[in-house]
Structure 1
């Protein structure tokens, strides 16, 4: 009896993520090791409930009193519209550098490149802001009063430390970020519930009061609420960091959209919880409205828990800022890498480099240099204030550009979502709402308001959002005209579309 043929070696499992990336025109260079939780942690860290609350609570209370908290669910709902659009795009094109990659596929190379340019500088200058705002907490931990020079030096040290962590690869970065957000989330939730349940000084009717804060807006409650919407916008950005690590996430087409939703909604719930808790536990909200208490969050915590909580609370806040800085810097580096590997970013040959740990080291160095250079503005409080105002405006502009590109492509019929997320006609309606929301918020944030600047601030700080956005867009347009990166992208697309003779010969049927 003849023996059956022995089976050959089992075929190697196909790497579907790498194959999908290859179909989109790229080789797998970064290490794909993140699961859904790792991807969520990147988005959660950048949105960061601690950073979000500190970024908006004092200014918002000064503008609209305790009633400012109603702006939070409005902004959260608006950002959910954006995530709907991003989910369809990330599902179909799970690529790092989302605004650039999606824009060029939806409306062409010129639009895509400019969208990526604007997004990139928004993120890099956002890193400057996070590092600068984290520095005072380092001094608070050691009990030292900072000078402008030492503030800048410590902030630069934070950026450098975050770059070193990022350089060890996505696994180490994810480990640090996950530990940071675990400490931050647990502390935030515990503190929030404790303040609400055991240390309330006021009833919930407080949230119907402005305590006269609208006087800063000419006595108009409506204008005060518009200003608060501009400020509250800072609290719900950063979920797109999940897209930045798409090429390092397993089954990215399915997991990145889920991660964005989890990151945004979980942070949204924590921020709203803590914003209400702080207001209800604060011993004197009127002092915040009057500008006499510049740190209402710390006041509410220490007055409730006692002086022993000072240092532990500082540690929690500092951890939140550091996790945010690490994740945000990682996102910036991957955005630069996405542009540079196509040869359409300054010094692309060097910026596109990946180290032996499969981290985008060239992008890390480039983004850190830009962010650190902007820190020099911290030597002048007026200048750093202008940078912070610009950062908020520039962050919403890419949301608008991506939403607009998706809507135009839908209406032209040149884009029909074909990933795992397909919302159909409902997606078009939600896309229209996302365009309207982001257009409103860009105009609202850029609108020059003296109420959002320190007393006596020069005119250019009041106009910083509009001026800064205009400078970045103008610089991008000049680069498009002089260096013409769009021509390189069009040439690459033509080459990719041409048939490969060798591949065609392999697939051709043999003659009978």
Structure 2
């Protein structure tokens, strides 16, 4: 059977076409926007922004967007030039050296698996608000019970997404696209309904609620902490590129999908946050710093309409976990076919029946559930797991943008499919500055993020630094002493040489 031009294009990277090309432009757009998932992120983390920075934390939303847009523009160039699975890993491999590429891929893989667990925890923020029946552990009044219940609900969700991902990309794409359509419609309707119920003007976003008191940097210190609520949401747009080997015309469609997903998320998410602040009946209500947007919805819209929108949030959380796991599966597959992971033969095998790597689906699901189980009964689970995941993703992104800038300066960068032209260098520099600054902001051992309640221990405050450092050092040691001696495209996955 003759190969299509897209199949032949993959051979230039040394791989044969094993994954099925079935995804159109909406499917790739949906993958990116469901990973970002505005309804998931805003509803899961609004309470954090309000608690740490008051309504003025809203300004972190456009700040994070501008920074992430610089990164996304760089990624759009890369997606058009290298339409290969395992985006960050394969991009770095071609921009830098195999060692840097392995570490970037490893950090992104562990971050994605951790993100599966982090996003699955969002069920706890929403389902018990819909019905007390979803609080299967305790009554929800005790933080420890809530944390344990979050693990139970999250594990059920991960089991579902693992089965969907194992049964093939077509099923995943259909569910994901339908879920994204529901999310987008719900987001637009929510903006309209909240706008119809505003009780104050947009000047609410200048109120700090005295959150700067006690910070050595005043409100700037509070704002930097609160900005994590926005930083935790706007990432993962590279998922559209991770599906490059399963997409139709990826050189053209993937760059557009990346940028459209980020821009749409910024506009819709920003308006939801703004109108929610303007519509809240009592902007000083303590529930805004604990329950968050869920409280505003039920309080402003009433139980019936509010519950309908909360069900839309549940749909958004579901497809978000689905997309995150899809990205982690493609990363594991991409690294394994280069013999860069343990059990590479198993992880790099594509099921002839389902046309998808089944083993990575099962293994990423089991590890994500394991992360949840380890944290049973830990009330601080939400912020800590989310922080660890996003820190490693920001580091992985830097391991792409820095080598990319070096390639530009050396005249070795020739983009295909999408080009920034003369804006390439300034955008790339801004992407690096943004990534470095936000990584330091995320890693900062704040008590209010990593150890907000008793017992207070130094290793809890420094938990993110210790975990991320441990993942990097231990992982790279395994690579250096074992895996690097086996690195190379596996014969089973290599492109056939033309006769």
Q: TM-score, normalised on structure 2?
A: 0.91
- The alignment status of 1:395 with 2:393, answered yes or no, reads yes
Choose 397-406 or 129-138, whichever is displaced more: 129-138
Q: 1:351 to 1:484 in 2, by over 3 A?
A: closer
Residues of 2 paired with 1:358 and 1:242: CA distance?
18
Cα displacement (A) at 1:424? 3.1
1:352 maps to which of 348, 352, 356: 348
Aligned to 2:417: 420
Deviation (angstroms), 1:153: 3.0
Aligned to 1:108: 97
CA deviation map 1:197-234 (0-9, x unaligned): x2112111111111212225357011112222333111
Are 2:157 and 1:168 aligned?
no
Quote the offset at 1:143 in angstroms: 1.9
Q: Distance in 2 between matches of 1:491 and 1:286?
A: 58
Q: 1:321 aligns with which of 317, 322, 326?
A: 317
C-alpha deviations, 1:112-152, integer Å up to 9, x for none?
01100000000000001111222453444442334255432
Determine if the alignment matches structure 1 residue 98 to structure 2 residue 98.
no
**What residue in structure 2 maps to residue 86 of structure 1?**
75
Distance in 1 of aligned mates of 2:350 and 2:218: 54
What 5-or-longer segments of structure 2 have no aligned partner? 138-144
Q: Which residue of 2 aligns with 1:72?
A: 61
Cα displacement string for residues 64-121 of structure 1 (whole angstroms, at most 9, x for unaligned residues): 1111111111100111100111111111111111111111111110010110000000
- 1:171-201 deviation per Cα after TM superposition (whole angstroms, max 9, x unaligned): 11111111111112111211112212x2112
Q: Which residue of 2 aligns with 1:179?
A: 178
Measured in 2, the distance between the counterparts of 1:98 and 1:480 equals: 20
Query: Within 2, Cα distance between the matches of 1:150 and 1:297?
Result: 20
- The counterpart of 1:274, out of the listed 272, 275, 281, is 272
What are the superposed Cα offsets for residues 240-299 of structure 1, whole Å, 9 maximum, x if unpaired? 1111211110111111010001111101111100000111111222234xx775123122
What is the match of residue 477 of structure 1? 476
Does residue 1:446 correspond to 2:443, yes or no? yes
Name the CA distance, whole Å, in 2 between partners of 1:39 and 1:315.
Answer: 24
Secondary structure of the corresponding residue to residue 261 of structure 2: helix
Alpha-carbon separation, structure 2, partners of 1:329 and 1:484: 24
Question: Which of 354, 360, 368 is matched with 1:371 structurally?
Answer: 368
What's 1:209 paired with? 207
Specify the structure having the higher radius of gyration (Cα).
Answer: 1
Q: Is the 8 A contact 2:123 2:150 kept in 1?
A: no
Shift of 1:338: 0.5
Deviation for aligned residue 1:491: 8.6
Unaligned runs of 5+ in 1: 1-11, 507-512
Q: Matched residues in 1 for 2:369 and 2:338: separation?
A: 25
C-alpha distance in structure 1 between counterparts of 2:5 and 2:288, whole Å: 58
Q: After TM superposition, give the deviation of residue 154 of structure 1 in Å.
A: 2.8
Q: Write out aligned runs for 1:28-43 (5 A).
A: 28-43=17-32
Contact persistence 2:194–2:276 (CA under 8 A): yes
Correspondence list, 1:20-59, <5 A: 20-59=9-48
Q: Which has the higher helix share?
A: 1
Q: Residues 190 and 309 of structure 2 are in contact (CA less than 8 Å); yes or no, is this contact kept in structure 1?
A: no
| Alignment correspondent of 2:155 | 156
292-301 or 341-350, which moves further after superposition? 292-301
Task: Give the structure, 1 or 2, with the largest relative contact order (CA under 8 Å, sep 6 or more).
Answer: 2
CA 200–104 in structure 1, closer or farther in 2 if over 3 Å, else same:
same
State TM-score, norm by structure 1: 0.89
> Is 1:243 matched with 2:241?
yes
Structure 2 partner of 1:230? 228
2:434 to 431, 434, 437: 437
The 2-side partners of 1:40 and 1:67 are apart by 31
1:284 counterpart = 2:273: no
1:437 Cα offset (Å): 0.6
Counterpart among 327, 333, 339 of residue 335 in structure 2: 339
| Aligned-partner Cα distance in 2 for 1:292–1:139 | 16
CA distance in 2, matches of 1:151, 1:235: 19
CA contact (8 A) 1:139 1:146 kept: no
Q: Distance in 2 between matches of 1:418 and 1:188?
A: 35
Cα 1:135/1:306, change in 2 over 3 Å: closer
CA RMSD of aligned residues (A): 2.3
> In structure 1, what is the Cα distance between the partners aligned to 2:95 and 2:488?
14
Label 1:389 to 1:423 Cα distance change in 2 as closer, same or farther (>3 A): closer
Task: For 1:79 and 1:491, locate their aligned partners in 2 and report how far apart those are by CA, in whole Å.
Answer: 32
